[in-house]
Amino acid sequence: MKVDVHAHFFPRLSKRHCSLLGSEDWPWLHDQGDGTGFIMTGDEQFRPVQAPLWDPAARLAEMDRTEVAVQVVSATPILFAYTADPDRARKWAELVNDLAIELCEHDPTRLRPLCQVPLQDVDAACAEASRAVAAGHVGVHIGNHVNGRNLDDPELVRFLHHCATEAIPVLVHPWDMMAGYRMPKYMLKWLVGMPAETHLAILSLILSGAFERLPPDLKLCFAHGGGNFAAQLGRVDNAWHRRDIVRADCPRPPSSYADRFSVDSAVFSHDSLQLLTAVMGVDRVMLGSDYPFPLGEIVPGNLIAEAPFLSDADKAKLHAGNAAAFFGLSLPA
């Protein structure tokens, strides 16, 4: 049994839908009708894409082939629209979230959606998260920063508090990578930017002391194995012990907060997965593939299945059990 918690979709957005955001420069989908298409921005081809990204039948056929029982699906982060006018972004989130429900209705036991929210307006974000979860979403998918603010921003912490209060699981995905102008080539935004963004998001919550104020039952998961967090935790603990400016707002060693969140398994090597399970524990790593994008794990869960350092019971946790508990899923028989 495999549950993939990091899988993206792109809803059937037309150029006309983009007028909701006041401009036709937002991403929309051009379905060419032959199993291929393009994510468009305005009239420009932004990225070639394949039918499983938007077509639930094609997606489920691939899930059958790779033996993935359930996907927890999230929209592509380029649809967050955090820079848009808040009122327009609220309507946009409602549209994307309603289209997600529509896509998942194709097989609601196997496709479980995460909503997005207009985080530039936290009151609206709380309201939309609650509305979407009541409509069938199993959690919320947020970016790791919002208009120059990290997750320790008081308003963003207020949003996380709302999610804890309403038992809404949160998946944090990196986006809008820092210093992109220095990473124009070789997919460095993905290779350097994404792990750095995720690390920054986690450390902002730890070192600001936000975890001291957030309810311990907040369900928080970081994509891409938590980025650089596990690999650099020794460096961060060392700095906390030796420099008062590092520990100024954080009363306990950074490593002691590793039990306050989960990560996915998208790290692509056994050495990395072994470190990750050692740092996070086998209860806090969940299968995540980044399906269906080109850097995703080709057969989701193979890295876990073939890991010589994991017992069968541990593999079952990473493949499905942890995700079922985190998202409150009842798994198909």
- Please enumerate in sequence order all residues whose Cβ is within 8 A of that of 33, keeping only pairs 6 or more positions apart, or say none: none
Using Cβ positions, the residue closest to Co ion within the complex turns out to be: 290
What are the residues whose beta carbons fall under 8 Å from the beta carbon of 254, sequence distance 6 or more? 203, 206, 207, 233, 236, 237, 240
Closest distance to Co ion from the beta carbon of 14 (Å): 24
Residue number with CB closer to Co ion (94 or 290): 290
Residue number, 10 or 211, with CB nearest to Co ion = 10
Residue 173 C-beta: closest distance to Co ion, Å: 6
Minimum CB distance to Co ion smaller for 114 or for 126 = 114
Question: Which two tokens mark 92?
Answer: 């946009």
Cα-based angle 319, 325, 326 (whole degrees, multiple of 5): 90
Q: What span, in angstroms and rounded, lies between the C-alpha atoms of 154 and 146?
A: 12
Closer to Co ion by Cβ: residue 152 or 290: 290
Q: Give the tokens for residue 43.
A: 């009239």
Of 26-34, 195-203, 232-240, 283-291, the segment contacting Co ion by CB under 5 A is: 283-291
H/E element holding 198?
helix 194-207
d(CA 313, CA 318): 9
Is 55 a binder of Co ion (CB under 5 A)?
Answer: no
Q: How many CB atoms lie within 10 A of CB 108?
A: 11
CB of 89: closest distance to Co ion in angstroms?
A: 21
Q: E-assigned strands of the chain? A: 3-9, 27-31, 36-41, 44-50, 70-75, 111-115, 139-143, 145-146, 149-150, 170-173, 220-222, 262-264, 285-286
Distance (Å, whole) CA 222 – CA 174: 9
- Total residues at interface with Co ion (CB under 5 A): 1
Closest to Co ion by CB, 174 or 321: 174
Closer residue to Co ion, CB minimum distance, 121 or 290: 290
Stretch that binds Co ion, among 113-121, 198-206, 237-245, 282-290 (CB under 5 A): 282-290
Q: How far is the CB of 311 from Co ion (least distance, A)?
A: 28
Going by C-alpha positions, the residue among 5, 20, 114 that lies closest to residue 68 is 5
Q: Which of 94, 121, 290, 314 touches Co ion by CB under 5 A?
A: 290
What six digits make up the tokens of 216?
A: 């311990």
With contacts defined by CB under 5 A, name the span among 95-103, 163-171, 189-197, 290-298 that binds Co ion.
290-298
How near is the Cβ of 264 to Co ion at its closest, in Å? 9
> Applying CB under 5 A, which part among 30-38, 255-263, 288-296, 323-331 lies near Co ion?
288-296
- Residue 290 or residue 297: which is nearer to Co ion going by CB? 290
User: Can you name the residues that pair with 27 across neighbouring β-strands?
Assistant: 41
Is 60 or 78 the residue whose CB approaches Co ion more closely?
A: 78
| CB of residue 305 to Co ion, shortest distance in Å | 21
Q: How far apart (Å, rounded) are the C-alpha atoms in residues 104 and 72?
A: 10
Q: How far is the CB of 24 from Co ion (least distance, A)?
A: 25
Q: CB 245 → Co ion: shortest distance, Å?
A: 33
Residues that bind Co ion (CB under 5 A): 290
